[in-house]
Structure 1
């Protein structure tokens, strides 16, 4: 019998909280190396959507990934929650984009171009846990599920995880699984 989503969410929040700053920095660096391998193996992709880390949630530092994508000449996008509705808007960044923290501690760009999401070819997704079938659990707000449901099915969905997969995570019909997940040690394909 699989664990329910809230139990898994709680388990991985505790595991993250238990990581020292040094461990998180090392795992972030290892994931960045795997991401570079992933990007190098997909020369057909040049439009990447990236999340930026919420420090209090102990998320992976993705700023080095942005730097690498910029150095490769890729188009880099991120999102913010719209002020008018609970949806995510797509923001196209430039290499010298500056960031500031919003009230939730989310790094938001100060300079960007508001665009539609139709140009995105791959999206790096924050998550707490994932399983061997590509099912994922985030923080439970549903922003990414809603955003992913609006993207064309060919967009590659790539999770970034500090931890290895669970055997099984319960999923529902509206859940959109990952195509890949990158951990410090591996690039998993589903």
Structure 2
């Protein structure tokens, strides 16, 4: 498995204006607006560039998870299609009817589709795995900072699903990798004790890792 320091990078930061550390709602609204302001052509180019950087992680991975992009989120389709071509097993999250811990459903040529929670499409496939069975998880986000704190949509599903990662002193799989536009980087995110930190964040301009 790839080490945490193998893909270090320090691309230039693009940060929003200062904001009250307690106002997550305002921060989410502002970052979504910045993301939505990108043109379709810009979002497509950014998704392809990010996928090319992320493809390096597939060399040492058998099972990966990603997400179905909605709205103005960075698209994962180029990355997921490349992963299938390389022979990786690709899984997508299934939001539970109760609770916050997601499972992951296989996506391949035999998968059907159904509408899941929040009207997000989910593959319909008999093979379902838990979070601990994955090698790399590509995670959506609204914003991230230099410490790789993650601001999500607010549902807490990723925080709850990967809660076990916070209990470890040393890194173990799955590798948690955020995918984002450069415009989604913030100076310093407000962080609660249960908030998820990522191992890497990949943007069109480079790869960020957590400070040593």
1:49 aligns to what? 65
Question: In 2, are the aligned partners of 1:182 and 1:188 still within 8 Å (CA)?
Answer: yes
Q: Secondary structure at the match of 1:61?
A: coil
TM-score calculated relative to the size of structure 2: 0.78
**How far off is 1:171 after superposition?**
1.1
Match of 1:31 among 20, 40, 50: 50
Q: Which runs of 5+ in 2 are unaligned?
A: 1-17
In structure 2, what is the equivalent of residue 189 of structure 1?
Answer: 209
Match among 113, 127, 152 for residue 138 of structure 1? 152
Query: Does the 8 Å contact 1:38/1:187 carry over to 2?
Result: no
Aligned length: 185
User: Does residue 1:92 correspond to 2:106, yes or no?
Assistant: yes
Contact 1:70–1:95 (CA under 8 A) maintained in structure 2: no
Distance, in Å, in 1 between the alignment partners of 2:86 and 2:20 is 41
Contact 1:2 1:170 in 2 (8 A): no
More deviation, 119-128/85-94: 85-94
CA distance in 2, matches of 1:144, 1:182: 18
Q: Deviations over 1:107-153 (max 9, x none)?
A: 21133412233311111110011001111101111111111114575
Q: Give the deviation of 1:99 after TM superposition.
A: 3.5
Alignment correspondent of 1:106: 120
Looking at structure 1, the residues matched to 129 and 114 of structure 2 have their Cα atoms a distance apart, in angstroms, of 20
Change in CA separation of 1:100 and 1:23 when aligned onto 2, cut-off 3 Å: farther
CA RMSD, Structure 1 to Structure 2 (Å): 2.1
Indicate whether 1:59 and 2:73 are aligned: yes
The TM-score with structure 1 as length reference comes to 0.86
| SS of match in other structure, 2:137 | strand
Aligned to 2:20: 3
In structure 2, what is the Cα distance between the partners aligned to 1:144 and 1:31?
Answer: 21
In structure 1, distance between residues paired with 2:177 and 2:147: 13
